[in-house]
Structure 1
Amino acid sequence: MNSYLEFEKPIAELDARAADLSRKDGDAEAAAEAARLTARSQTMLAETYRTLTPWQKTQVARHPQRPHFKHYVAGLAADWTPLSGDRAFADDQAIIGGLARIGGRRVLLMGHEKGDDTASRVRHNFGMAKPEGYRKAIRLMELADRFGLPVVTLVDTSGAFPGIQAEERGQAEAIARATEACLQLGVPMVAAIVGEGGSGGAVSIAAANRVLMFEHAVYSVISPEGCASILWRTADRAPDAAEAMRVTSADLLKLGVVDAVVPEPVGGAHRDPGAAIGALGDAIGTALAALEPLSRDALRADRRAKFLSIGNY
């Protein structure tokens, strides 16, 4: 059952009324009214999602029922073989990675996992990786490079873990090295922003040849709340910050930060995860097919040119 966001309350009310009426067995008039309300709800849903503000898109990107990494593995990856640990300190469950086949192609698949209930969210640290998570990512990317496997990453994090112990173990250096590892790959790399793309925690596994982004995902250097707290000394101005930062897929496509926007089902990926996962799989396949003919040097040059061109007008 869908969990409604604050701006979806009128839709929730229509759906609740339709559900109540549909429970009246044998009442033709009630059934007809339920059908009318359902149709009206779907129309309202489509209209609402056509005009979402950046702050509303941020809320959709954070929706707890959006597909998580484990759902993408189940829906896209054949022959999934997880690989664990950074071979130095620990196995950070905020970043999961392994070998897989997507559309028949052998790839190294890796991404953030937020978890979908209290226990799993704690286990995965809400998708906020520590240094060992980024060092695991580096290890897996180097492994893929050695064996000529394309790298596919799925980004969904509010940011890197900000705790003292992470700083003590070299958080900034680990993020920088992971970003460097992306840029130095001699194999195709495709990244997809599937939910939140927050700060260095996202960029560290998204400095790819092609960056895809879901229609209602967000990607930014800092969270809207963090930005508002710095600029206006209050997180209450987060909607203004989201507007100013240009966090949406449409804005980032125009700016050249992302290369393609993957459409979501009406009402967001959480309303039809299967369709969303299928659309992303098709987009990843298209991107990999375009990159496959390029040599190692050409792939590095392509990646370099992409990121150096950002911000040019």
Structure 2
Amino acid sequence: MAVHYLEFERPIADIEAKIEELSKLSEAADPGAFDVEIEALRARAQEMRREAYSNLDAWQKTQVSRHPDRPHFVDYAQGLIDEFVELRGDRKFADDQAIMGGLGRFRGRPVVVMGNEKGRDTVTRVKHNFGYARPEGYRKAIRLMEMAERFNLPVISFVDTTAAYPGVASEERGVAEAIARSTEKSLMLGVPMVAVVTGEGGSGGALGIACGSRVLILEHAVYSVIPPEGANSILWRGARTPGEAAKALKITAQDLLGMKIVDRIIPEPPGGAHSDPDAALKAVGDAVEEELKALENLTPDEIRKQRAERFYAIGRAGLQ
């Protein structure tokens, strides 16, 4: 499988290319002849990766959040949810595969799970519309949340989208209204909801399924009102770079925790979640389990009150 290197990872890519070259020479000549050199290069590459990922700026984190090899919703569903049964359609218009969801068991606990799916190759990206959800995707999410409330099941959502789909047909079918109603349903749920921003949480497209009792975010994920490129184009008419826009927007997990927009940062493996998906899935699973346990004994009224206080605090924090 081809390795996707980001721009700031080019020095690491060069070293790993040398490792591959030496490995081939060793196989062709004398097995083990370059073991010492290869191990030294591997250690150097690992150290460079650890150093690079400990000092990422906002734009680099945005690039990492979009890395094609990061775990997607289908990976979280397969790795964390037993007996997963996908439920399709909004019972109004169609099935939108940019938002997937269904029923399953999370570490023995029955749950409703949903999330954005971008797809990984050309075929699946087209199938999932690159993660850009249409109105029926949010109406499907509402349907799932209503089911969760009816059967007293906690909700887990995995957020990873640049934005909702802005096409003409999407607007004609009321995408703004659908996002608003999905956001409203999230806020008014009488069951616990844990939202995890796993990649890029962009605009209202992310917010529609992210208003949980607890909002978690992976270490190198981002969460913003608009993507940096859009902010640069609309607010500054292209006068700044996306990197400058990303910094100004304060979209990193660390910024968001400081502003109390998210409740918890989930550490990623050295090199990002895409470097060790199994470790990333376990870290997410452990964090979600802890949050659900903390919420499980609350009554519906207490859950709604806790969620209201959580979101009211964001505005108050910004005025201090």
- Contact 1:2 / 1:271 at 8 angstroms: preserved in 2? no
1:27 CA displacement: 5.6
Q: Which residue of 2 aligns with 1:124?
A: 128
Q: In the alignment, does 2:293 pair up with 1:292?
A: no
Cα distance in structure 2, aligned partners of 1:38 and 1:140: 46
1:28 CA displacement: 4.6
Please give the per-residue CA displacement for 1:113-158, whole angstroms capped at 9, x wherever unaligned: 0000001101100111000000010011001100000010000000
Structure 2 residue corresponding to 1:88, chosen from 70, 85, 92: 92
- Contact 1:108 / 1:140 at 8 angstroms: preserved in 2? yes
Other structure's SS at 2:163 match: coil
Structure 2 residue corresponding to 1:245, chosen from 243, 249, 252: 249
Other structure's SS at 2:315 match: coil
User: Which letter maps to 2:67?
Assistant: H
Cα distance in structure 1, aligned partners of 2:299 and 2:277: 35
Q: In the alignment, does 2:152 pair up with 1:148?
A: yes
1:19 CA displacement: 1.4
Q: Which residue of 2 aligns with 1:216?
A: 220
Q: Which residue of 2 aligns with 1:159?
A: 163
Cα distance in structure 2, aligned partners of 1:9 and 1:216: 19
1:30 CA displacement: 2.1
User: Which letter maps to 1:8?
Assistant: E
Q: Which residue of 2 aligns with 1:9?
A: 10
- More displaced, 296-305 or 24-33? 24-33
Cα distance in structure 2, aligned partners of 1:32 and 1:20: 14
- Contact 1:11 / 1:41 at 8 angstroms: preserved in 2? yes
Q: How does 1:18-33 map to 2 (within 5 A)?
A: 18-23=19-24, 24-25=26-27, 26=30, 28-33=32-37
Please give the per-residue CA displacement for 1:225-266, whole angstroms capped at 9, x wherever unaligned: 000012221286110010011110011011100000001110
Cα distance in structure 2, aligned partners of 1:257 and 1:308: 10
Other structure's SS at 2:34 match: helix
1:195 CA displacement: 0.3
Q: Which residue of 2 aligns with 1:168?
A: 172
Cα distance in structure 1, aligned partners of 2:151 and 2:177: 26
- More displaced, 15-24 or 189-198? 15-24
- More displaced, 24-33 or 271-280? 24-33
Give the RMSD, CA atoms, in angstroms.
1.0
Query: Percent identity between the aligned chains?
Result: 57
Give me the TM-score of the superposition, normalised by structure 1: 0.98
1:40 CA displacement: 0.5
Cα distance in structure 2, aligned partners of 1:71 and 1:262: 17
Structure 2 residue corresponding to 1:186, chosen from 184, 190, 195: 190
Structure 2 residue corresponding to 1:108, chosen from 107, 112, 122: 112
Q: Which residue of 2 aligns with 1:276?
A: 280
User: Which letter maps to 2:40?
Assistant: R
Cα distance in structure 1, aligned partners of 2:190 and 2:46: 46
Task: Structure 2: state its 5+ residue gaps.
Answer: none
Cα distance in structure 1, aligned partners of 2:270 and 2:315: 32
Cα distance in structure 1, aligned partners of 2:154 and 2:260: 22
- Contact 1:154 / 1:191 at 8 angstroms: preserved in 2? yes
Structure 1 residue corresponding to 2:309, chosen from 305, 308, 313: 305
Other structure's SS at 2:93 match: coil
Task: Structure 1: state its 5+ residue gaps.
Answer: none
Q: In the alignment, does 2:53 pair up with 1:49?
A: yes
Cα distance in structure 1, aligned partners of 2:192 and 2:135: 25
- Contact 1:60 / 1:217 at 8 angstroms: preserved in 2? yes
Other structure's SS at 2:251 match: coil
Q: Which residue of 2 aligns with 1:64?
A: 68
Cα distance in structure 2, aligned partners of 1:36 and 1:235: 44
